[in-house]
Structure 1
Amino acid sequence: MLLCALSNELPESPVLSPKSNAVFERRLIEKYIADRGTDPVNGEPLTVDELIDIKQDGPIRARPPTASSIPGMLSMFQNEWDAVVLETYQLKQQLSKVRLELSHTLYQHEAACRVIARLNKENAQLRAQLGRVDAPGARAADSMDVDPKPAAAAATTTGPLAGELVQRMEALSAAALEDRRARKTPATLASAEGLQSLHESWTATVGELRTVAISALDDLVLAGSRDGTATLFAQGGASLQNLTGHKGRLTAATFAPGPVQGAGRPTILTASHDRTVRVWADEADTGYKTRAVVECHTGPVTSAAFHPLDGTLALTTSLDATWAFLDVTTGRTLHQQACPVSKNGIIAADIHPDGLIFGSCAGDSQILIWDLRSAANIASLSSPDAAGANIDSLTFSQNGYYLSSIGRDNTLRLWDLRKSQLVDSVVLDWAPTSSTIDASGTYLTVGGEGGVSIFRTRKLKPVCNVPGLTSVASVAFGKDARTIVVGGDSMLRVFSVPE
């Protein structure tokens, strides 16, 4: 039985195409050739004269009726049906072609994604290797346990700081490295179950809080507010003193690791949008007084951190795209360095506990690592998935191994400094504003619009959420992670682990 390749029906006037050897109804193939001039099956050029009639026995049909009769209307319907059949055949051909092209495109897209992922991985590995190259300041990597034995050649590093100061910093780094290797988790460290049972110990009403800190001995709490005042509290909630003098909102308020020049209580450092940094020293009779006012920056000061050496040095950053290293005892600027890649200014910085390097962020997707001795940018940390993230805050773990950062993509990231790479990340349901790691390096807490969440540092495993908190501006861990200080909504709240 012969069937038309177009209509798939028995043809009345069958013809054969010499180009595809397919059988067609003559009226259908003639219309198709008149429209397109090709064979419907393989698309080769075809004319009506090339068609071959196929003779077959059959009854003689009556002459077609005129168009004015019902049979004539049926004939017109037949012509319309023929047109529909031709169009349907063409649509099937086009659909098959589009499906084929889509398959090719999907395979190409998948291959391109694989290539991009591989290149990003190779790029991250090359950056990590570059950060460990033995260049000026590369010895800072030794203090992070990359090399089991720090090289003595680091003592010959040249830079803007005095040689005697550099030697003291390197001695601190070597001692911290040995201490870290011998350090064990304190028996008094809060357990995960204890943190899950945190209760509010005391509260205090303060102006719009911007930053909080707690002293190393866990006996003092400092709260910095938008009006430029830093308020000092004793554990328990008693207000001890208001530190006034700044004319802009505070961006940092922190305690020194120990007293300076024999003072009874630790020195305090405050930074403000008024472009100044103030050093506050404790005087036995009158309390804290301004010891020095540092005015080395031309833009708002964004962060201030004490160097772990002995509380006599500090690092500050500013929106003028510079960082400065200060002598706290005199208020003298030992070195000030511009960061050419931080066009919008340096947003935040923190010093590594070994004291040889620090990290800074400029509101983009990179964290820059600097060597304090040479004032050189020795490495940078960036994640392929953070291309659009603006990193606003970073914190070194006191065990020297980890660095945490938070960004405007609501992501908490954890970096391993020994490998110079991202090891884990958590996407939060709210915008984070502050994060900190406890002294043992076991717990990490982050605060923001959604409250306060506590994680185990390794793998960022969730521990608990502190209930009843919103709009948190700053958080800080107390000794052994048994106390958490939270500032926000004009309230200072202190939470403690049950005894």
Structure 2
Amino acid sequence: MSNFTCALSGQTPISDPVALPTGEICSKALLLKKLLETSNHNPFHPSSQLDETQLITLATSNEILPPRHANQNSIPSILNTLNSEYDSLVLELFDTRKALEETRKELSHALYQNDAAVRVIARVVMERDMARRELADAIANGGAAPASANGESTGNKRKRVEEPEEASADKSSSGIPANVKAELQATWKELNSTRKQKTKAGEGYATADDIAAFKAEKKSYHKTSAKGIVAMVGDVNGSKLVTSSTDRHMTLYNLDEDKIISHVAAKAVAGDEHMLHCVGNTVAMVDTDGAVKIYNGDTELSVSVEVSDVAAIKVHPTGNHVFVAEKSGSIHLLEIVDSEKVNEAATWSALENEGEVTCTSMGIHPDGLILVIGRSDGKISLWDLNTEMLAATMGGSSSPIISIDFSEKGVHLASVDGSGNLSVWDLRKQKSIASISAEEGITSVCFCPVGKYLAYGTSSGDIIVTVVKDWDKKIVLSDGKGKITGLVWGKDAKHVVGTQSTSRMVKVWG
């Protein structure tokens, strides 16, 4: 008898050992109780039925008889009750062990699924990061962003420029005329091939110590009646300045030769430097009446384009094309067709949620194929002019973007928001790499010719120069109070030119 062990209780059956068809040995009484609970399902093989007639009684010797039944208040009765409770406890323990085994199997399966999911997520993240790097490299080089096999961008959702209803025959299907796009691409190819060489600092390039020793030289380009200079911009070489003042004149100045090129009678610019821009001899501005004015040197061209509520204006590196951004988000591409006339080549909407967001500023990549839109929601939209699609959206701040400037290296972009905070963005990673603030609020920003230094002006009149990637190293140039309305670097960073809203003087620090 001692050789038998009940598969349910783990104890030796007292008097009724039976064998199941599947081979297990159990106490018959205990097994029958279990069958009642499981509706005659085999407790060891739940998928099969088990009936009492299928049980095989085992013949044993030295049968151990259970105690006789007695009254409930007798010791045998108590023992019988304890025996019943023991049977129930053993059955419950069996169920618990079985549930534990099932739980272990489920946990093992769940852990396997979790491990597989982690591997899949890691691979997807790796592919996403690779796609982002490819897109950022394409944007940094001023070219088109790579597309996937199904024709969709690997970056953010892209939006194609809509073609005007009355498109001319020579326009491509995406809106910009084929001949204009060819000129933009040719300029990109030329500038992109020489940009790396041009953005290397030579032996004569100004050091941080040189900049710290700068002194201000004041130059008067405007009438004494001028209360201040509204805006100032310079060309990419830092040799030419264009200033707009309240004396209703625009002045073109050659910084290298230290002489005035021309005075042009023109109303003041309607805002800051994002309403004034120049490339070579082409100067574009928006006056206080909201009219777009384009000049070839001191000659005003005829602009046959109707725009309203202009937010910013930029001249393309070709010098023959001008971008005008309305606050509504409409972008107008203007083309100088001859020495006297300017026509509209294309127009599209640069904002995907018109009405909720407005355009507040604009910038152009040094190579000319990326148009950047500063928005009222603090975000920055990057448009690929080659594919005419929205390549990426970065940011945003809680305040509108009021000023944008590209590093000539083409990989960094600086933006100033309406709260006076400055952010520097890495276009390859599409994220902010520096955040700078000043107590007085930042109003203007400008990279040096090779992208080594970044200058920004404050509302109190200070010009602060910081070393790119060493943002804590700052040099303060201060001379008088008044909001900085324009900053321009000279050749080899030998000087920094600044203007203020409270002074008609142009201050050349060098």
TM-score normalised by the chain length of structure 2 = 0.61
* Structure 2 unaligned blocks of 5 or more: 1-124, 154-171
Structure 1 residue 125: Cα displacement = 11
- How far apart, CA to CA, are the structure 2 residues paired with 1:462 and 1:378? 33
Q: Which amino acid aligns with 1:373?
A: N
- Listed one character per residue, the Cα deviations across residues 423-481 of structure 1 (whole Å, up to 9, x for unaligned) are 11112212111111122011111112132111112243433111224321221212222
Partner of 1:306: 315
Say yes or no: does 1:324 pair with 2:332. Answer: yes
Sort the Cα spacing of 1:448 and 1:290 in 2 relative to 1 into closer, same or farther, 3 A.
Answer: same
Alignment of 1:60-459 (within 5 A): 140-141=138-139, 143=141, 159-183=174-198, 184-204=200-220, 206-216=226-236, 218-226=238-246, 228-235=248-255, 239-246=260-267, 249=270, 251=272, 252-256=275-279, 258=280, 266-282=281-297, 288-293=298-303, 295-299=305-309, 301-308=310-317, 310-329=318-337, 330-338=341-349, 339-341=351-353, 343=355, 345-383=358-396, 386=397, 388-450=398-460, 451-459=462-470
- How far apart, CA to CA, are the structure 2 residues paired with 1:173 and 1:126? 29
Say which of 483, 486, 489 aligns to 2:495. 483
Question: What secondary structure sits across from 2:231 in the alignment?
Answer: strand
- How far apart, CA to CA, are the structure 2 residues paired with 1:145 and 1:269? 25
- How far apart, CA to CA, are the structure 2 residues paired with 1:358 and 1:166? 14
Structure 1 residue 227: Cα displacement = 6.1
Question: What secondary structure sits across from 1:413 in the alignment?
Answer: strand
Structure 1 residue 190: Cα displacement = 1.5
- How far apart, CA to CA, are the structure 1 residues paired with 2:192 and 2:237? 22
Question: What secondary structure sits across from 2:484 in the alignment?
Answer: coil
Structure 1 residue 164: Cα displacement = 3.2
- Listed one character per residue, the Cα deviations across residues 3-49 of structure 1 (whole Å, up to 9, x for unaligned) are xxxxxxxxxxxxxxxxxxxxxxxxxxxxxxxxxxxxxxxxxxxxxxx
1:233 and 1:241 in contact (8 A); partners too = yes
Structure 1 residue 354: Cα displacement = 1.5
Structure 1 residue 216: Cα displacement = 4.8
Question: What secondary structure sits across from 1:167 in the alignment?
Answer: helix
Structure 1 residue 248: Cα displacement = 6.5
Say which of 478, 498, 504 aligns to 1:467. 478
2:145 and 2:384 in contact (8 A); partners too = no
Sort the Cα spacing of 1:239 and 1:374 in 2 relative to 1 into closer, same or farther, 3 A.
Answer: same
- Listed one character per residue, the Cα deviations across residues 46-79 of structure 1 (whole Å, up to 9, x for unaligned) are xxxxxxxxxxxxxxxxxxxxxxxxxxxxxxxxxx
Sort the Cα spacing of 1:201 and 1:469 in 2 relative to 1 into closer, same or farther, 3 A.
Answer: same
Aligned length: 347
2:320 and 2:336 in contact (8 A); partners too = yes
Structure 1 residue 366: Cα displacement = 0.4
Sort the Cα spacing of 1:201 and 1:358 in 2 relative to 1 into closer, same or farther, 3 A.
Answer: same
- How far apart, CA to CA, are the structure 2 residues paired with 1:331 and 1:292? 6
Question: What secondary structure sits across from 1:331 in the alignment?
Answer: strand
Over the aligned positions, Cα root-mean-square deviation in angstroms equals: 3.4
Q: Which amino acid aligns with 1:357?
A: I
Structure 1 residue 302: Cα displacement = 2.8
Partner of 2:95: none
Sort the Cα spacing of 1:390 and 1:147 in 2 relative to 1 into closer, same or farther, 3 A.
Answer: closer
Structure 1 residue 238: Cα displacement = 5.4
2:486 and 2:499 in contact (8 A); partners too = yes
1:128 and 1:421 in contact (8 A); partners too = no
Sort the Cα spacing of 1:147 and 1:130 in 2 relative to 1 into closer, same or farther, 3 A.
Answer: closer
Question: What secondary structure sits across from 1:347 in the alignment?
Answer: strand
Please identify the structure whose Cα radius of gyration is greater: 2
2:441 and 2:458 in contact (8 A); partners too = yes
- How far apart, CA to CA, are the structure 1 residues paired with 2:260 and 2:242? 10
- How far apart, CA to CA, are the structure 2 residues paired with 1:375 and 1:146? 9
User: Share of identical aligned residues, percent?
Assistant: 18
- Listed one character per residue, the Cα deviations across residues 187-208 of structure 1 (whole Å, up to 9, x for unaligned) are 3322111111111223225443
Sort the Cα spacing of 1:408 and 1:354 in 2 relative to 1 into closer, same or farther, 3 A.
Answer: same
2:230 and 2:269 in contact (8 A); partners too = no
- Listed one character per residue, the Cα deviations across residues 228-249 of structure 1 (whole Å, up to 9, x for unaligned) are 5312334487555432244873
1:415 and 1:422 in contact (8 A); partners too = yes
2:283 and 2:315 in contact (8 A); partners too = no
